[in-house]
Structure 1
Amino acid sequence: MDTDCVSCGACIQTCPTGALTEKLARFQGRSWEFRKVQTVCPYCGVGCQIELNIKNDKIVKVYGVEEGPDNKGHLCVKGRFGFDYVHHKDRLTTPLIKHNGKFEEASWDEALNLVATKFKELKDKYGSDALAGLSSAKCTNEENYLFQKFIRICFGTNNIDHCARLCHASTVAGLARAFGSGAMTNSIREFERADVILITGSNTTETHPVIGNYFKHLAAYNGTKLMVVDPRAIELTEYAEIWLRQKSGTDVAWINGLMNVIINEGLYNKEFVENRTENFDEFRKVVSKYTPRKVEKITGIPEEKLIAAARMYGKADRGSIVFAMGITQHTTGTDNVLSLANLAMLCGNVGREGTGVNPLRGQNNVQGACDLGALPDVYPGYQKVSEAQVRENFETTWGVKLPPKEGLTVVEITDAASKGEIKGLYIMGENPMLSDPNLNHVREGLENLDFLVVQDIFLTETAELADVVLPGVSFAEKEGTFTNTCRRIQLLHKAI
């Protein structure tokens, strides 16, 4: 049967008679026999509120929480059905120490004593900057805070980073420069107040399905106009009022082209520009070079379609911009983000409901990991490690002397390890042997380390290279908080 069903399971949750049920939950018991625990989905940055149905200390099924602020009961196929890994037989339950190339089980005391001893030896012999740590966007805010504090206090280095470096680091840099904060300027539910939503670099229905479904609903039933700028025919192009198909790598050009038309036709917000922006005259000179005809030659976007798109965004009372890694994972990623920020400011689409510049973050707590300082150049709250007064404040609070030099990024850590400059590495909840670029180079770096510790819930590709592996716990087995893509901090409840 030809259907556009995406197996989200909403029909099961809404079925009034119980005629539909999850395969995994069949014969597991009646609904009233389950202990119900409300918590947060561990997959993407939407941060859906979920209800775990527990029996005999095991997750039987998952429902979406109807009052969930960002998902309103909706879940994607992974959020509803992808929980079996929590009880998988391959979960790590005891520390492992490698002897003669093979892992052997060890006690926690034995493993932790070895970890502490080896890192201290390397620090004493080679110095603090010979050590590094990789934190995790899958772990809680509290875990990320403690990990970066551990690296800075115990290792004595700012060599701390995580996977945001490979996805939205340019977002943090660009939006922090433009607005002072590297995150969504507006909340998810404010999209319903937008007249126009410009979506670029985001295949939303695949990467953030709940938000993607929300966009489809707004286009079909709310009168919201979607503008999609993407080289590919993604699902949202079927719902878009305008679809601009640019050549890859030409994003700054088409954004400047939109602003060129908006300025020339007097569609920009003069009051906002005069009172709340800087260097408009200089900016105007640069943008004036990007005429629709020139932009067509650069990007391949037809002149008339660019003009139509500029008018649609420029005339909207409330315009919202949404982007993801299709914009950021470029050599010009930060410039792409800054250009989108300029477009929003030009039309006064900042600081009001249903407007703004809104990056959709990838993993469930990548926003929180950045906020809590798992980055080489900033402490928690994006306070620069290079600023003396900031550093002094943290030294007073933590009671130690802190290094003034910015640390290495995740890519630089790998490079330094391959050169023998990084001797010891502690990885928590990251799998660079799967996620980082140039895996041969990553393997070379990890294998060249004197000592590698990996903490995870499975024996991952990275963990197999470790000297010591420490078991971690899943989202269902701990308490803490996650920060979703729109900066909503949500409480995680221990369920099992």
Structure 2
Amino acid sequence: MSNKTACPLDCYDACEIIFDNQKLRGVKEGHTQGFLCPHLNHYEKHATIQTPRYKGEEISLDVALEKLKVMLQSCAKNKILHYRGSGNFALMQEVTDHFFASYGAVLTEGSLCDGAGEEGIKQGRGSNKTMPIHEIAKSEVVVFWGRNPHTTSSHLLPLIKGKTIIVIDPIKTPIARMADLHIQLKPHTDQFLAMLLARFLHIESGYDKEFLQKYASGCEEYYELTQNLRIKAVLEQMDVSLGQLGDFLRLVKDKRAAFVCGVGVQKYHDGADVMRSIDALAAMLGLFGKEGCGVSYLGASRANIASPFYTQSKKVSKVLTEFSSFDTVFIQGANPLSQMPDSNRVRASMERVKNIVYFGLFENETSEVADLVIPAKSFLYKDDVRTSYSHNRISFMPKVAETDAGISEYDLSAYLCREFGIDLQSEEFYINHFKSFAVQKIDGLLYVDKREEIPYANGFDTKDGEFVFLDEIDSKIDENEGLHLITSKSPTSLNSQFHRQESVYLHSSLGFREGEMVSVTSVSGSVRLSVRHNNDLRSDCVLIYSGTKGVNNLTPSKHALSAKSAIFQENKVEVRKWTV
């Protein structure tokens, strides 16, 4: 049995691992570089669900599977919902989709994460291709635009030593304190900053003329669009100075630059336009199709890999799911009662479901209300393969240890397919299918075959091969009353797993005492939290980390304008001292 595997967690790095004497350590080769993030360093210390239960009583796995079968048989097929989380990036997770789609159940579509930004990227470039980590390592300038690598992508840090660092973020993050330039702009103004930078780049003739003529000839019309912005007023609204614009352009012009973007910039109704504007600035600088240049967002982790699983089915929005429309809801690797927006609506909808089944590793708000709980196996106890949304590596994940607890996604699906007469190939067949997309390169490491090392080297994936600029401004800077809500990734938890935060972070100038209880309220609902001071925040901002219990009481049940994507930072909030 091999002791080398890979991490399945939802983060940029996708570390490769050695499992030795019940401990995890990083593989020295490749981007993992011998060390692991805090989540993985302490992974085995987090208690997982060991025993199935029904209506609060512990039962055997055989009994749990029989009860699941009866639940599915007891209702119409179109009254069954399969709600699968997307936070596990091992490819065999999708085998359950094959059963439920083949059976005639309803699946979900859309994104609780990056969907609006991805849609904007596709509108401009025609596709969403990854700028690999090794290309960022070749950059001279790295712009962290709404991204905090110390929390979300720690394996980038050794690769940026000695480079010019620019940070654009409402929070003075650790990387911002190290930066050559930090623009601490007001939240939800990134589009206007990118457009003003493009405008001044054009005025100074700092754009890449040769690249634009060949691949982005619409830049003149885009420059005219940027002239609709009133410079002085927009700068005041963003809380950005003219000098900062000049400093940014001075640092990036004629340099190999990488824009490393986080998902926070697009957690709004117009999130697609935000990413299109950042992409447009990169295009005017000629940063696509060249070594050490580009825009790094969440790439398509399944790109160039054909799924062997049948998934043709009716689908409902993962953001706006009306659970009460179904009799049996099978929830896999997800915690919708915490992670979906508008938790009050979700809770009320779930209360009207006859059968809720939770299939996962960890206890959470959703497992607590489930009628049937079936424990899953962690990545250490099953075979799998994974890819990444920030680089082109493909990692094999063989079983490295044994356990009697839980059941794998494949084994559960195999049971259901057998009981309901649905065809399913062997687990080995599917593993080998995914492995067939791997190719070993000169460094001895495995990569997804036929992915571009330098994306867009031969132009964009649009009809004419050219970048498509925005042609109108649909967004406005929000001047309404209230504080801006920021829902960043937590350094101690991953979504709603591990050590979840329990506080709201406020600038001390707002007048609330450290540790006092406050009510944070939006038009969607409220949450009661204790105060912690953070003077790295702007004073017009409220930081509640993603995964904090109750944070999504504050967020709206709405899609972004051009994608079925959640808009977690759309609502402004008010903070008041808690009174009983």
TM-score by length of 2: 0.63
How far off is 1:156 after superposition?
4.3
Residue from 40, 43, 53 that aligns with 1:79: 40
Task: Name 1:9's counterpart in structure 2.
Answer: none
- Corresponding position: 1:491 with 2:426: no
- Corresponding position: 1:320 with 2:258: yes
Task: Name 1:478's counterpart in structure 2.
Answer: 382
Per-residue deviation, residues 274-318 of structure 1 (Å, max 9, x unmatched):
2223533332211223465343123111011112212322332x2
**One-letter code of the match for 2:72?**
F
**One-letter code of the match for 1:105?**
I
Per-residue deviation, residues 300-337 of structure 1 (Å, max 9, x unmatched):
11011112212322332x21111112212222221111
Q: CA RMSD in A?
A: 2.7
Task: Name 1:180's counterpart in structure 2.
Answer: 126
1:193 counterpart SS class = coil
Per-residue deviation, residues 378-403 of structure 1 (Å, max 9, x unmatched):
xx67xxxxxxxxxxxx9xx95x9x45
Residue from 133, 139, 143 that aligns with 1:198: 143
- Whole-angstrom CA distance in 1 between matches of 2:3 and 2:400: 6
Task: Name 1:111's counterpart in structure 2.
Answer: 64
- Whole-angstrom CA distance in 2 between matches of 1:154 and 1:353: 47
- Corresponding position: 1:63 with 2:25: yes
Task: Name 1:433's counterpart in structure 2.
Answer: 337
Task: Name 1:277's counterpart in structure 2.
Answer: 216
**One-letter code of the match for 1:182?**
N
Distance 1:408 1:75, change over 3 A: same
Contact 1:261 1:291 in 2 (8 A): no
- Whole-angstrom CA distance in 2 between matches of 1:150 and 1:171: 31
**One-letter code of the match for 2:25?**
Y
Shifted more, 327-336 versus 147-156: the winner is: 147-156
- Whole-angstrom CA distance in 1 between matches of 2:252 and 2:235: 19
- Corresponding position: 1:48 with 2:28: no
How far off is 1:455 after superposition?
0.4
Distance 1:339 1:357, change over 3 A: same
**One-letter code of the match for 2:12?**
G
How far off is 1:81 after superposition?
3.3
2:287 counterpart SS class = coil
- Whole-angstrom CA distance in 2 between matches of 1:315 and 1:352: 12
Per-residue deviation, residues 346-371 of structure 1 (Å, max 9, x unmatched):
1221122211111258xxxxx64x76
Matches within 5 A, 1:231-270: 231-270=170-209
- Whole-angstrom CA distance in 1 between matches of 2:248 and 2:208: 17
Task: Name 1:469's counterpart in structure 2.
Answer: 373
- Whole-angstrom CA distance in 2 between matches of 1:422 and 1:372: 34
**One-letter code of the match for 1:495?**
V
Per-residue deviation, residues 61-88 of structure 1 (Å, max 9, x unmatched):
3222111x22222323333233223xx4
Contact 1:144 1:372 in 2 (8 A): no
How far off is 1:428 after superposition?
0.8
**One-letter code of the match for 1:111?**
A
Task: Name 1:296's counterpart in structure 2.
Answer: 235
Contact 2:219 2:284 in 1 (8 A): no
Task: Name 2:515's counterpart in structure 1.
Answer: none
Task: Name 2:76's counterpart in structure 1.
Answer: 123
1:408 counterpart SS class = strand
Contact 2:258 2:295 in 1 (8 A): yes
The number of aligned residues is: 399
How far off is 1:138 after superposition?
4.0
- Whole-angstrom CA distance in 2 between matches of 1:168 and 1:442: 21
**One-letter code of the match for 1:277?**
A
Distance 1:272 1:147, change over 3 A: farther
- Corresponding position: 1:151 with 2:100: yes
How far off is 1:46 after superposition?
0.6
Distance 1:232 1:205, change over 3 A: same
Q: Which runs of 5+ in 1 are unaligned?
A: 1-34, 362-366, 374-379, 382-393
1:247 counterpart SS class = coil
2:368 counterpart SS class = helix
Higher helix share: 1
Contact 1:148 1:160 in 2 (8 A): no
Task: Name 2:248's counterpart in structure 1.
Answer: 309
**One-letter code of the match for 2:216?**
T
Task: Name 1:389's counterpart in structure 2.
Answer: none
- Whole-angstrom CA distance in 1 between matches of 2:350 and 2:92: 23
2:365 counterpart SS class = coil
Matches within 5 A, 1:199-218: 199-211=144-156, 213-214=157-158, 218=160
Task: Name 1:451's counterpart in structure 2.
Answer: 355
Q: Percent identity?
A: 23
- Whole-angstrom CA distance in 2 between matches of 1:434 and 1:428: 14
**One-letter code of the match for 1:493?**
P
- Whole-angstrom CA distance in 1 between matches of 2:303 and 2:137: 27
Matches within 5 A, 1:354-373: 354-359=292-297, 368=301
- Whole-angstrom CA distance in 1 between matches of 2:370 and 2:237: 48
1:261 counterpart SS class = helix
Distance 1:156 1:478, change over 3 A: same
Distance 1:147 1:371, change over 3 A: farther
Contact 2:2 2:398 in 1 (8 A): no
Distance 1:263 1:149, change over 3 A: farther
**One-letter code of the match for 1:37?**
N
Task: Name 1:331's counterpart in structure 2.
Answer: 269
- Whole-angstrom CA distance in 1 between matches of 2:336 and 2:64: 22
